[in-house]
Each structure stands twice: as C-alpha cells, then as structure tokens.
A and B are shown apart, each in its own frame.
Chain A
Amino acid sequence: MKSLRLYALAYLAFLYAPVLVLPVFSFNNSEFIAFPLSGFTIRWYQGLAADTAMQHALGNSLKVGLATALLSTMLGLAAARAVTRYRLKGAGVALGFISLPLFIPDIVLALSLMLLLGAGGLPLSLAAVVLGHLLICVPFALTVLIARFEGFDRNLEEASADLGEDPWMTFWRVTFPLMLPGIVASLLLTFITSFDEFLLAFFLSGTEATLPVYIWGQLRFPERLPMVLALGALILTASVVLVILAEHVRNLGAQKTTVGA
C-alpha cells in the first residue's frame, strides 16, 4: 500500500500549499506576493497591531460569534432534548425545517433576510448578522447535541428523579455534566462557523464590518495584501490552538463519562 500512502501525502501537499501561502508571505519583505522571496520582516504584523479598523472588526466578530454560539447552543440544547426525550408528533418535520438553511445558498438566506429587515423598517446591524448566523449554526448545534443526548444512559436521569431531585436539579447535576462535552463541541463549532462567515455578514452588517467583511474590503488594495495574509496566519494559528484545546477538553470529558458510567 505504498502508492496509496504516497498519494495521501501528495493530497496533503495539495491541501496545505494554498494555506501555507499565508504564513510564508506574511513574513516576506515585499509588497508583491511573488517568487522569489525577498527577505524576512515582521512589519506586516506591526501594521496589523496599528490597524484600528481591523481591531474594531475583530471585536465585532467576537461579539457576533459569542452571541451566536451561546444562543444557538441554548436553542439546540432545548430542541435536542425535546426530540430525544419526548415523543413528539411531527418531530421529523420540525427537524427537517430546522436543518433547511443548510440546503439553501447563503446568498439567498442573506438577501431574503435583507428583504425582511427592509419590510419591517429595521436597520442592518450586528443583531441582524446574529439572526442570520443562527440559521446556519442551530442545525450544527442540534446535530452535535442530539448525538450526545443519544449517547448517554437516560436511566441516570431517571435515577436522579427517583432519588428525589427535582427536574431542575436533575438537569444541573446529571444532564448538564454529561452533556458538557457536547455543549463545548457545539459552542466551538458554532463560534468558528459564525466567526468565519462572510456572505450573511456582508449583506446584513451595514456599517459595522465583521472581520471577514473587513478582509473582503482589503482584498481590493494590492498594497494591503501582505497584512491580510498576516491576519490570516494569525487566525489559522488561533484556530489550531483552539481546536487542540477543545480536543483536550473533549478527551477529559470522555474519560470522566466512562468512569462515571
């Protein structure tokens, strides 16, 4: 199976080549992104540190991402509990409806939301972006959380109830800790989805740019490109760290569950 292995390595190279353009040319001492490389510099990163518009956009993205992650995970948690713990008529239809945004092009979601805001006389805003992001994030949250609800033994909840805990305490002392790895995964997935989302934010954010909208604006100016690449390299680094951390937390959670069960 040597040839298969070689192919897999070649495929990895195909996946990494465009991504490595970001860090490599973010340290390149030239405004032109072309070979040959012309020396090492950190001036593009220094430029980023001084760029207040970028930092404002980053702040907006963090706000939208956090709001979206928290809201979609809460909505997903309630809905996942409803479909896994109750016998509901029409639950399949409801789940289909909630998953529908995944099958609709983002541009259609964005423009039809814009129509709605227009019809309601509401301004474009970060809140509108959050609503747009909920459409694509709730289905993700729901998928992750349903899998987790199905994964643990519901007798534990029954036992808690039988031993005299009220439903609220049962939720906090039994359900929530068991769901925690799923909740963390859902928060992370929805945050990253929202943080990276461009099109909905582009049409709905109005004057308050999120980071991808800011990046899109910068792509027109060739002299700003190396700075954008530096920003991309930083986002990549932060994401990798975040994913490794989340994996670590997930493993801790998994061990705990086995011990507890």
Chain B
Amino acid sequence: MAFSPIRFKQQFHRFRLRRGPRFSNNPSHKGVNVAQTGRNSTEGYGLIAPALGVMALGLAAPLALLLLTSLKSQSGLGFAQGWTLAQYAAVLGRASYRILFLRSLLISGAVTILTVALAYPVAYFVAFHARRKFVWLVALTIPFWTSYLLRVFAWKIILGFNGLINSGLMRLHLIHEPLSFLLYNPFAVVVTLAHAWAAFAILPIYVSLEKIDRSLLEAASDLGDGALRRFLRITLPLSMPGVIGAAILIFVPTTGDYVTPELVGGPKGAMIANLIEVQFVGAGNWPLGAALSLMGMAMVAVIAGLFVAAARAGAKEIR
C-alpha cells in the first residue's frame, strides 16, 4: 500500500496521545539533536524566565497573600492581630455556605453533562458526515465571537418576565400572563452556561473524533459489528480524550463563574463566586472571602482530579 500522509499523521497523533501530556519535554520523541542538547541550557532557562517571572508576580505572590489573608480575621477596616483558622471553621460550619458550594457543583456538573451530551452528536456529524467541515466549524464558532457579557445578557432578555419568550407567546395568545419560572433560578444558569461554553465541548470532541483511524471502523464492520456496537466499541472509547478534555474545560471555569449567576441566577441561582464577591466588596470581610476562594479552588481541583483519574481508569478498562 502506498504511503499515506494522512494515515501517518493519525498514527503520529495516537502515538503522542499515548505518550502523555502535550507539554512533555521528553527529548526522545522530539528528535532533539545531539549538538543542541549538549548546549548550555542557561540560555533556555533565560528564555523561559520572563514568563515565569510574570506568573510569580501575578499569580504566586497574590495567591500567597490570599492564603495569608485567609488566616487573619477582620477587625474594622484592618485585620486583627495574630493568626487564626476561624475563617475556615466559619466556611465549614455554616449551612448556607455548604448549600452554596453544593449548588455550584451541581449546577456546573449539570452544565458539563448537558453541554457535552448536546455537543457530541454535532461534533460526530461534522467529523463523519458533513461534506463541508470547515464551513460547519466556522458556523459553529461564530456565535462565540460576541462579547461573553452580552451572550449571557441575551438570555436574560430571552427568558425575562417581559422577555422574548413571554412576549412572543403572549402575542400568539398561547399564554395569558408571563411565565415567571424562566429566569432567576438554577435552570436559567444551566441553560445560559450550556450555551456560553458550547464551543469548548464541540471543538475538543471534534478533534478527537477526527483523529480516529477510519480503518478501525471498517475493521469493526467487517468483523460483524452493527452501527451501534461499532460506535460503542470503537468510536466512543477513542473519542474519550476529547470528552474528558471538554468536561474539564467546562467544569472548572463554570464552577467559579460570576457573570452568569449574577445576571440570570437571582438569589436561588447564586454560586460561590457571587458569595466571594459579596464578602470582599459588600461585607468587607477579606479574610472570609479569601478562605472561601481557597476552599472553592481546592474543591474544584479535587473533583476535577478525581474525575480525570476515574476517566483514565475507565478508559484503561475498555482497552
């Protein structure tokens, strides 16, 4: 069989996937030339130092300060003397905070599942059945080139009491008074976020489906698998990296989203970020706000880590 560059590219990609993270600097598969590896690496450290410096200044120092702040307690406009774990006790001890944390997780969990489930068939269609893939990809991403704020706000206009759905339905005489259950609740937050983050599901899933070696699908069919069985045994497992990537890309930022719950959530749809903002700006209790921030981050990190571990274990099982 003639050498196929496309096939080669696919195999190369699979090879890279198996080799672990994209950012691996393992020289063995980068073909780093001996002359270069022998070169003094001071130059290399010099090149990466500015980026690290910016991150140290803009990320590490502020986070360290956040940690220190969380170990203080507010006293008037300043902090009380001495260090304390009181803020963490307060976060853990108050039922209203626990509810807010739990709600944030449930909302972004629902958003993640909904967005991935809705986007998967679309990505599948574009990867396997669309004739003009590029046109589809552009069409699917154009809505994301508007301002995030306005995309979220558009949902407030659509779902509102005097909004488009209500005014449209009343105009059509389908309802006689506006529906009030559309806006200012967790449902509105989930719908809005599922819309706002759709591209982050479509693109990774599309990429992983596109990478699947088509001859594997042929082989499954030749060996007697029906369409569904073939999908479950070949396509779905091989597209899992995209699904997992999409889930993380959506779950992590939506848990900490501020704008959406603020605009369409109402009191019933408020999330952690809104509580943090209230502590810092409204209540002026910086230590409590700092403790809430750190606990929120820790919670998201733990859950995302567990999810990735579970997904990896699951993927191994299938193979």
Contact = CB atoms under 8 A, between A and B. Distances in A.
Given A97-B52, A98-B51, A86 B157 contact: no
Contact of B171 (A35, A75, A96, A134): A35
A32 B62 contact: no
Interface residues of A, number: 87
Interface string A66-95: 000000000110110111111111011011
A243 interface: yes
Between B23, B62, B65, B277, the greatest number of chain A beta carbons within 10 A of the residue's beta carbon is seen for B62
A45 to B, nearest CB: 16
Nearest to B20: A92
Given A35-B167, A78-B50, A87-B27, A105 B124 contact: no
Contacts of B166: 34
Interface stretch (A50-58, A107-115, A177-185): A107-115
B96 interface: no
Given A32-B162, A111-B289, A84 B30 contact: yes
Contact of A78 (B39, B51, B147, B252): B51
B256 A198 contact: no
B252 A103 contact: yes
Contacts of A22: 146, 150, 154
A4 B127 CA distance: 12
A11 interface: yes
Contacts of B33: 154, 158
B264 to A, nearest CB: 11
B112 to A, nearest CB: 15
Contacts of A142: 51
A258 to B, nearest CB: 12
Interface in B259-302: 259, 263, 272-273, 276-277, 280, 286, 289-290, 293, 296-297, 300-301
A108 B66 contact: yes
A34 B121 contact: no
Closest 4 CB pairs of A and B: A105-B256, A86-B44, A112-B62, A239-B145
Interface of B: 21-25, 27, 30-33, 35-37, 39, 41, 43-48, 50-52, 54-55, 57-63, 65-66, 69, 118-119, 121-122, 124-126, 129-130, 136, 139-140, 142-143, 145-151, 153-155, 157-158, 162-164, 166-168, 171, 195, 198, 252-253, 255-259, 263, 272-273, 276-277, 280, 286, 289-290, 293, 296-297, 300-301, 304
